[in-house]
Amino acid sequence: MQFFDTHAHIGLIYDDPIEQLRVIQEAKQAHVSRIVSICNSLHDFTQVYANLKSVPGVYHAVGVAPSEVTNPGKDWIQTIENGLKLPNVIALGETGLDYFRKFGDKRSQIELFITQLEIAQKMNVPVIIHNRDAGKDVLDILSERIPDAGAVLHCYSEDADYAKKALGLNIYFSFAGNLTYRNARNLHETVLNVPLDRILVESESPFMVPAEFRGKRNMPSYTPSTVRFLSDLLDIEFEEISAQLWKNSCKFFRLPE
């Protein structure tokens, strides 16, 4: 049995290369065989990629998160395109919209988001979507501009009705440790109404720690806890759902099983 953590902020867990390698080793001991490293800024991507580019089982996404809208970096478009040509860089992200924190203004966030969707289309890569309090605009934009390679709504936080609307597009739904919270009824209902072959799991570490590990800093090694909760919720054998989630993740990121 093996697990695929589709979204981990390894550089936010530790910025030291030795500690990052320890995090990955602990994940592998927990049978988390593949991890997608996510960075919010291009500066952080450069650092984390340099640390982990040759580590087996670690893949990378490159992009500019809405938190960086006021300072995406010099020549950021070319930097993303160049990054997507590097070995083991398999997606653009995370990008999207965040109206909760009010980073910059909405127009600037939308322009940043649309430009990155255009880059993803040009470079033929899937895109990892951040959405916080911006669900309508995210879905409206994706309805017109989703790349051919598809998108994943990471750390899904909307309800089942929203998911049903998104199912008409080439969109996957990734669930983090907050799925395991007792009061996350909107997420539980969503999982029950989304096809299993469109579901991914992620740690979103160091955030969204599963209920089993509440009080600790989240790690990729905790990903199986979310899978077990999903197994119980859907009443599907743990081994069966683990295999399906692995298959889904490999398909979305276009990696061999």
Domains in the chain: boundaries: 3-253
pLDDT tens-digit map of 158-191:
999 999 999 999 999 999 999 999 999 999 999 9
The answer, yes or no, to whether residue 101 has pLDDT greater than 90, is no
Residue with tokens 């951040």: 130
Helical (H) or strand (E) element with 109: helix 106-123
The answer, yes or no, to whether residue 102 has pLDDT greater than 90, is no
Distance between CA atoms of residues 210 and 216, nearest Å: 9
Taking CA atoms, 66 is separated from 91, 93, 149, 225, in Å, by 17, 10, 21, 29
Q: Give the confidence band of 22 by pLDDT, cuts at 50, 70, 90.
A: very high
pTM above 0.95, yes or no: yes
Asked if residue 56 has a cis previous peptide bond (ω within 30° of 0), the answer is no
The answer, yes or no, to whether residue 225 has pLDDT greater than 90, is yes
End-to-end CA distance of the chain: 12
Find the range with the poorest average confidence among 97-101, 126-130, 196-200: 97-101
Q: Give the confidence band of 59 by pLDDT, cuts at 50, 70, 90.
A: very high
Phi, psi of 248 (to 5 degrees): -60, -45
Query: Tell me: domain 3-253, CATH 3.40.50.2000, correct?
Result: no
* Averaged pLDDT, 1-10: 97
Distance between CA atoms of residues 121 and 8, nearest Å: 24
Distance between CA atoms of residues 205 and 29, nearest Å: 17
Q: What is the pLDDT of residue 69?
A: 96
